[in-house]
Amino acid sequence: MRDKWIIGVDIGGTFTDVALVGNSGTVYMSKAPTTPSDPANGVMDALKRAAEIISEPLSNLLGDTQRITHGSTIATNALLTRDGAKVGLVTTKGFEDTPYIMRAIGRVDGLSEEEIRHVMFLSKPTPLVDRHLIKGVPERMDAEGNPVIPLSTEAINTAVDELIEIHKVEALAVCLLNSWANPEHEQKVLDYVESAYGERIYSSYSHRLARVAGEYARMNTVLADCFVGPKVKQYLSHLEQQLRQAGFGGIFLLMQGNGGLASPEQCAPVATLQSGPAGGMLATSQMAQLLGHSQVITADMGGTSFDVGLYSNGYWRYATEPVFDRFRILQPIIEIESIGAGGGTIAHADPQLGRLIVGPASAGADPGPASYGQGGNQPTVTDANVALRILDPEYFLGGAHPLHPEKASEALQKVASVLNLDELEVAAGIHQIINGKMADLIRRQVIRSGYLPGDFVLYAFGGAAAIHAVGFARDLGIHTIVVFPTSPVFSAFGIAMADVVHTKMMTCHYSLPTDPELINSSLDELENELLAVMEQENFSRSQITLKRYMTLRFRRQMIGVEIEVPWARFGETEMTDIQKVFAERYQTLYGKGAGNEEAGTELGAIRVDAIGPVPKASLKPQETDSSRTLTAKGERKIFLQGDWHLAQVYDWDQVLPGQQIDPVSIVEAAFTTVLIPPGSTGIFDQYGNLVLHISN
């Protein structure tokens, strides 16, 4: 019988990844270069390669596909490149300068530590809306949601008409003061825009995106949604049209940064920020449950960036106010930190200090590393790994994209001549520096979460992570690394396995204990909104799982801690118990005695996730066999730790579950290379994963 497919797609900065998951548990992978000018072309190229892998025409593959789930970088790239829509903003009169005043921290938000050190060059980012396109209207809600100044209908009509008809804005953002507490005035603006302009203008409203206090971040959220919205909608419409024309008749869903899928109609464009890395966290959750790992560090190294997340006891954290292109926004985004440390990260010499500097700039997909032979002339991490002979130039992307070692050598020599080093020393330095940067990012993430790196298993994924994983894991005291057969497309694999998820948040201010019905009414409001959305996604009430979270803090604190609530409704007992749960969690995070229970506890925010499960292919274990002789496909000398080592080279597809790989070795797959240096060993488990063990 023919497999029915679920396809996960993840557009990265360098490659577009596709994971095919069959209903029999079969998984196939493909990659194609990302095409920045029209990302849909890269998606279709990757799908064509996937069809070739299973020896089917593309029309047959798409015809047998039940669902395509898509993680998009369109919104992220539009923000980073400032290539978005012309935005107009309607806000409360007297607050027109909020995007320009920002917060004091806006001067450093989104900057690296290296950039922050140069204080004289720090400046606030340019807002996403021009000052003359901000219109203030007379109205006012207080923080309790009570109207103080009525909304002027005439002023609203005039402001909206002027922005759309005279200034020709392409998107209209609406953010009125305290609309999170009472959206009545924003709803009136919405009603006028829909009646007067309908589909002619893209519009976004802060109460729909984030019913959360925080005037500046809430305004950023609606501005970002409008800035990227028209481009995201246009791209998705263009891609879906191509897919339908090519034979796809199934369901098309989008990945969100909260870790769930949604239909294009129900998904705000700003919600797609960080959707690719979120897929990696979903795949981590699936595999951690399968393998019995409760504490996992995710390390995703692709061509452009290195992304790190934490999965602890079945739970990942959401960023309180994630920063994108120097703007704080209010969206439920999985907390994943990134630095410019991918295969395409560029190295250069500082002639004044005589230092080798790696990153954060990347060669990306175009022109790419020097060894790609596409015009790049600056050395990158990939070029260094070619020079160290860790990468086989003839087998890159399974031989579909051979590399040019002579061009890597030319690029490295330019830096070597400035530093008075030889080419190999520069390559080894790049390898070591990038490992150190990745270790530093992981260390910060883990320690500030109240743990030690050695308490975790490391999941290494992305096309480049398996080369560097042992290097930075050893520095952190991590002893176990798992590399998956799907690691090169792990985020796409996670996106393919994702459930439909919608999230609603609400700011509230209660000193605990309080009347339980106050909390229950807030939960009811959020849950009813979510159930209505899920009904539009064709889920019945019996299919939906609701997860509830609360952000708690000790009285007079500014920052809270989010915890999952195990109860559907609150009574007097639950009111007491939630304070105990919070105190225990606080002590775990910040140390014994750090809390102040005598001060009392405050509830600052409520979040509810509605989860609609979708069918998933199950991964089936295989029998392990360590008795069969493991045969290398070849050997080559590689440069590690200041010396040459003779490495045995193995073909991933020829290694059986249960077989062990000794140091010094390399395991090659079509889309990734695994380095097993001195002091580490590898063994293939029953699911075909390569588990690396690092000795002390």
Q: How many CB atoms lie within 10 A of CB 662?
A: 11
| Alpha-carbon gap, residue 638 to 391, rounded angstroms | 9
- Predicted confidence band at 549 (pLDDT cuts at 50, 70, 90)? very high
Burial (0-12, 13-18, 19+ Cβ within 10 Å), 511: exposed
Q: What tens digit of pLDDT does each residue of 434-493 get?
A: 999 999 999 988 988 888 999 999 999 998 999 999 999 999 999 999 999 999 999 999
Alpha-carbon torsion (37, 383, 304, 32), positive or negative = positive
| Alpha-carbon gap, residue 662 to 648, rounded angstroms | 9
- Name the CATH architecture for the domain at 5-78+234-272: 2-Layer Sandwich (3.30)
Q: What tens digit of pLDDT does each residue of 498-527 get?
A: 888 888 888 888 999 999 999 999 999 999
For range 52-59, the mean pLDDT: 94
The percent helix, strand, coil of the chain (3-state, each to 5) is 40, 25, 35
Each domain of the chain, given as residue ranges in start order, spans: 5-78+234-272, 84-214, 500-612
Return left, alpha or beta for 74; rule: phi > 0 is left, psi -120 to 50 is alpha, else beta.
Answer: alpha
Asked if 377 contacts 411 with a C-beta cutoff of 8 angstroms, the reply is: yes
Q: CB-based contacts of 214: which residues, under 8 Å, 6+ apart?
A: 321, 330, 507
- Predicted confidence band at 590 (pLDDT cuts at 50, 70, 90)? confident
Residue 226's nearest CA partner among 134, 317, 96 is 134
Does residue 262 or residue 691 have the better pLDDT?
691
Q: What is the mean pLDDT of the chain?
A: 91
Q: What tens digit of pLDDT does each residue of 280-304 get?
A: 999 999 899 999 999 999 999 988 8
Asked if 231 contacts 171 with a C-beta cutoff of 8 angstroms, the reply is: no
Q: What is the CA radius of gyration of the chain?
A: 26
3-class secondary structure, 236: helix
Residues facing 507 on adjacent strands: 605
Rounded to two decimals, what is the model's pTM? Answer: 0.86
Phi–psi pair at 561, nearest 5 degrees:
-120, 130
Whether the pLDDT of residue 321 is over 90: the answer is no
Pick the range with the lowest mean pLDDT from 594-608, 611-625, 653-667, 677-691. Answer: 611-625
Whether the pLDDT of residue 615 is over 80: the answer is no
Residue 28's nearest CA partner among 440, 496, 630, 650 is 496
Q: What tens digit of pLDDT does each residue of 26-47 get?
A: 889 999 988 888 899 999 999 9
Burial (0-12, 13-18, 19+ Cβ within 10 Å), 292: exposed
Asked if 572 contacts 584 with a C-beta cutoff of 8 angstroms, the reply is: no
Q: What tens digit of pLDDT does each residue of 71-109 get?
A: 987 888 788 778 899 999 999 999 999 999 998 888 888
For position 582, what pLDDT does the model report?
93
The hierarchical CATH code for the domain 500-612 is: 3.30.1490
- Predicted confidence band at 337 (pLDDT cuts at 50, 70, 90)? confident
For position 353, what pLDDT does the model report?
81
Q: What tens digit of pLDDT does each residue of 388-410 get?
A: 999 999 999 888 889 999 999 99
| Alpha-carbon gap, residue 48 to 399, rounded angstroms | 17
Whether the pLDDT of residue 374 is over 70: the answer is yes
Residue 228's nearest CA partner among 337, 109, 72, 97 is 72
The percentage of residues in the chain with a pLDDT greater than 90, rounded to a whole number, is: 66
- Predicted confidence band at 592 (pLDDT cuts at 50, 70, 90)? confident
Q: Are strands 355-362 and 323-324 parallel, antiparallel or unpaired?
A: unpaired
Whether the pLDDT of residue 644 is over 60: the answer is yes
